[in-house]
């Protein structure tokens, strides 16, 4: 018989791994990806493949030649970052801009802090915001959704619902179109339905908990609802706010990023409310039509503070009656 193994308890493990968690996220992203492929066609395919490939490649190169640390490329987190980055980009973005975005996301957003687990900001959002500031024109011209669109960079463009709201245009898509995703926007954010399906899957697999997304969505709903009730002429209905822009994508997939979100339920509520409030403030009063990315990044910066000061409810922490 071989030598017996001795180790401290517990002697069993759930079998969970980073790779499995990341795969669940990837599976949860499939519905939204299918919708993107349907409405934005070839462009969506090119942008997403470029983004994923370059994210994986950059992570591999940085790990191998600069950090020379442990190889963790197989944990699939670079694929998730790449896909999320692509979801946040318009499908007619030139390839070279996508590659720059991937380099910033992986190189600056993630690896410069020491890889997965150490980054304070969501890498995909770092990439996206970098591109939004550097290439505002390309980043804000969204193609019109046409089923199986064969065009890539020369696709016909249209304004998003939020831009339309901001500039008080009349052609806001119908509620049904917004729900299934038949509108202009970043390739992964358009379909509320598909994103909710992904959310349901993540909850079923217990990859994420409901706290962050539900808090963000309800905060946005309540705040915009108040404004809508006060002045329905100027402000759009809360439902429109929920279904447009990157709110669903951000609340479900970006804000819940393990590394950059708080670790206690109470902390998650604070974080969610913060994101919701900042989003609404930027949407209604800021110069950008969309504020989810900025809101998440700002709250990412508060996460360590939240983790330090907001503790979970301890067992036995009862006030004596």
> Which spans of this chain sit near another protein (rule: CB under 8 A)?
1-14, 16-18, 20-21, 72, 75, 115-118, 209, 258-265, 307, 311-318, 320
Sign of the C-alpha dihedral computed for residues 120, 250, 32 and 160 taken in this order:
negative
With respect to another protein, which residue has the nearer C-beta, 94 or 120?
Answer: 120
Nearest approach, Cβ of residue 1 and another protein (Å): 7
With respect to another protein, which residue has the nearer C-beta, 8 or 150?
Answer: 8
Nearest approach, Cβ of residue 67 and another protein (Å): 12
SS3 318: coil
Nearest approach, Cβ of residue 115 and another protein (Å): 7
SS3 114: coil
b or e along 54-68 (b: 16 or more beta carbons within 10 Å of the residue's beta carbon)?
bbbbbbeebbeeeee
With respect to another protein, which residue has the nearer C-beta, 137 or 318?
Answer: 318
With respect to another protein, which residue has the nearer C-beta, 18 or 27?
Answer: 18
- C-alpha Rg value of the chain to the nearest Å: 20
Spatial distance between the Cα atoms of 101 and 131, rounded to a whole number of angstroms? 6
With respect to another protein, which residue has the nearer C-beta, 109 or 115?
Answer: 115
Nearest approach, Cβ of residue 84 and another protein (Å): 15
| DSSP conformation letters of 216-280 | HHHHHHHHHHHHHHH-TTTS--HHHHHHSTTHHHIIIIITT-TTTS-SSHHHHHHHHHHHHHHHH
Nearest approach, Cβ of residue 176 and another protein (Å): 36
Spatial distance between the Cα atoms of 245 and 39, rounded to a whole number of angstroms? 16
With respect to another protein, which residue has the nearer C-beta, 16 or 234?
Answer: 16
Nearest approach, Cβ of residue 83 and another protein (Å): 17
Spatial distance between the Cα atoms of 187 and 77, rounded to a whole number of angstroms? 20
Region of residue 181 (left: phi > 0; alpha: psi -120 to 50; beta: else): left
Nearest approach, Cβ of residue 168 and another protein (Å): 39
Spatial distance between the Cα atoms of 191 and 186, rounded to a whole number of angstroms? 10
With respect to another protein, which residue has the nearer C-beta, 72 or 141?
Answer: 72
């Amino acid at each position: 018989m071989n030598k017996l193994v001795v180790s401290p308890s517990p002697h069993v493990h759930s079998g969970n791994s980073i790779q499995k968690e990341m795969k669940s996220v990837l599976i949860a992203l499939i519905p939204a990806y299918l919708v993107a492929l349907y409405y934005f066609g070839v462009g969506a395919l090119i942008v997403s493949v470029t983004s994923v490939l370059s994210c994986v490649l950059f992570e591999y190169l940085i790990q191998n030649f600069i950090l020379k640390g442990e190889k963790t490329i197989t944990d699939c987190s670079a694929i998730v970052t790449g896909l999320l980055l692509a979801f946040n980009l318009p499908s007619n973005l030139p390839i070279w801009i996508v590659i720059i975005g991937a380099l910033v996301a992986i190189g600056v957003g993630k690896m410069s802090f020491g890889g997965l687990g150490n980054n304070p900001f969501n890498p995909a959002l770092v990439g996206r915001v970098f591109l939004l500031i550097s290439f505002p024109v390309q980043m804000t011209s969204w193609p019109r959704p046409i089923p199986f669109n064969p065009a890539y960079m020369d696709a016909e463009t249209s304004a998003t619902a939020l831009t339309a709201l901001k500039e008080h245009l009349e052609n806001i898509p119908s509620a049904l179109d917004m729900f299934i995703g038949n509108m202009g926007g970043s390739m992964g954010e358009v379909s509320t339905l598909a994103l909710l399906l992904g959310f349901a899957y993540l909850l079923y697999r217990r990859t994420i908990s409901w706290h962050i997304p539900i808090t963000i969505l309800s905060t946005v709903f309540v705040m915009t609802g108040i404004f809508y009730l006060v002045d329905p002429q100027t402000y759009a209905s809360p439902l429109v706010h929920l279904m447009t822009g990157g709110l669903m994508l951000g609340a479900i997939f970006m804000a819940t990023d393990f590394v950059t979100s708080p670790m206690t339920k109470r902390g998650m509520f604070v974080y969610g409310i913060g994101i919701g409030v900042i989003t609404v403030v930027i949407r209604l009063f800021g110069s950008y039509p969309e504020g989810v990315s900025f809101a998440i990044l700002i709250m990412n910066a508060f996460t360590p503070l939240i983790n330090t000061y907001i503790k979970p409810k301890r067992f036995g922490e009862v006030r004596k009656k």
